[in-house]
Structure 1
Amino acid sequence: MGTECHGITFNDTVNSPLFPDVWAEIAPRIAGLPLIAHNKSFDEPCLKKCHEVYDIPYPNYTFYCTLQASRRYFPRLENHQLHTVSAHVGYILDNHHHALADAEACAEIALKLQML
């Protein structure tokens, strides 16, 4: 299969666990905590849709958005893409669109902006 999303191909995920299995492990670790995304308007609906597809109750997390915050705090940046904003706060995002690398960059931005 030749389709990909953000560099992730079918072969990258074909043997991966399904969302309900992963979520069963993650949910207890984040219970009661806010979530942070660099583009909340994309990530939050995706997470809600995964819950809906697998008929898992969605706990209505508080979501913070580093994209919105970066537009407010750094209005003169050439753009507000994750790699641009992370570089601006001193974090070099070497593996953009890799889930862990993107999450670390987002966390670094949130910490620098004292969002929590």
Structure 2
Amino acid sequence: MKKSVLGLSLLWLSNYALAEDPVVTDSNKYQVVFQNERVRVMEYRDKPGDKTNRHNHPDSIVYALSPFKRKLILGNGKELVVQKNEGETYWVAAQSHVGENIGITDTHVIIVELQEIDESK
């Protein structure tokens, strides 16, 4: 009985963790273009009015390929508006959020997520 409860708990936790990955939660918006043990590079696109599901990002660098205006609802409920011009590059600390395109242009960015390095290898 203990093994089955533990197994179900681990399965639930692994599914929960996967559900927080933006490539899983919003596969129609995020595309992985490169990945290794140090970084994951994704292309993100959406249209005005589009909204993402809640997801997580580790510390990341974002490069705007188009101007955009977005509302982010962070994991703690705080809302902020992010507006960037084409060509801007900026740092984003690790966070959980829901994003919504509240502008009049498509969002098109490249996101470079920094991966934790396993020093034991």
Shorter-chain TM-score bucket reads under 0.3
Greater fraction strand = 2
Name the larger-Rg structure: 2
| TM-score normalised according to structure 1 size | 0.25
Q: Pick the structure with more helix per residue.
A: 1
TM-score after normalising by structure 2 = 0.25
